[in-house]
Chain A
Amino acid sequence: AQSVTQLGSHVSVSEGALVLLRCNYSSSVPPYLFWYVQYPNQGLQLLLKYTSAATLVKGINGFEAEFKKSETSFHLTKPSAHMSDAAEYFCAVSGGYQKVTFGTGTKLQVIP
């Protein structure tokens, strides 16, 4: 069994401030972990993925995430928010042969 919990359905940050979106997962096998971004009325786009290589994963648009096995977490961060980062972000987990399970999403608002 696998599951994803995203803490906070809405997060607001000021432009230039740190972005931190939280994701905790549960998996009975070593997980594959993903962060996706969705802009309004569009599909999802992969930001980054963890596949058991380096625990700190760098993605597109300056985002990165750190895999912490002891905390079962995969939080997404960006040092400085930009207005174009306003979107909905989804964390997802998979155990290989298992289908991908998505979290409920976090909407990021960037305040000028």
Chain B
Amino acid sequence: DGGITQSPKYLFRKEGQNVTLSCEQNLNHDAMYWYRQDPGQGLRLIYYSQIVNDFQKGDIAEGYSVSREKKESFPLTVTSAQKNPTAFYLCASSTQGRVGTGELFFGEGSRLTVL
């Protein structure tokens, strides 16, 4: 079945550690996105990528980094510079290269907790 796979589903981190969240899709989609979800705040865009080897900052990119070396993969690193990293992280993809015009397909999310 085609879809988006995020791993790990749950992750615990000590303060000061970097962690990397994996996102893989086999939908052959051009665009991929990372969102952060906090209770009562909806989804906020961290980074997005419309083609391989290119990505743009979203609304809350500080303390995060990404790479897009393959069309299928868009990993997110939460660095120690992120002041409040505890959150639910969602990866998504879409068929169209133009951000915003197409349906977003989401993974099941990764819940990061900083101890």
Contacts from A to B (Cβ < 8 Å):
9, 32, 34, 36, 41-46, 49, 51, 90, 94-100, 102-105
Contact = CB atoms under 8 A, between A and B. Distances in A.
Contacts of B40: 9, 104-105
**Consensus secondary structure, chain A interface:** loop
A45 B100 contact: no
B74 interface: no
Given A44-B90, A104-B40, A99 B106 contact: no
A97 B98 contact: yes
Interface in B99-115: 99-101, 103-104, 106-109, 111
Interface of B: 4, 6, 35, 40-45, 48, 58, 88, 90, 92, 98-101, 103-104, 106-109, 111
A32 B42 CA distance: 18
Contact of A98 (B4, B99, B109): B99
| Among A32, A44, A45, residue most surrounded by chain B Cβ atoms (within 10 Å) | A44
Given A36-B104, A94-B101, A95-B100, 11 more contacts: A34-B104, A41-B88, A42-B108, A43-B107, A44-B43, A51-B101, A96-B101, A99-B58, A99-B99, A100-B104, A105-B40
A43 B41 contact: no
5 contacts: A32-B100, A36-B104, A41-B109, A45-B106, A100-B45
A90 B104 contact: no
Given A99-B45, A99-B48, A42 B109 contact: yes
A43 B109 contact: yes
A18 to B, nearest CB: 25
B90 A99 contact: no
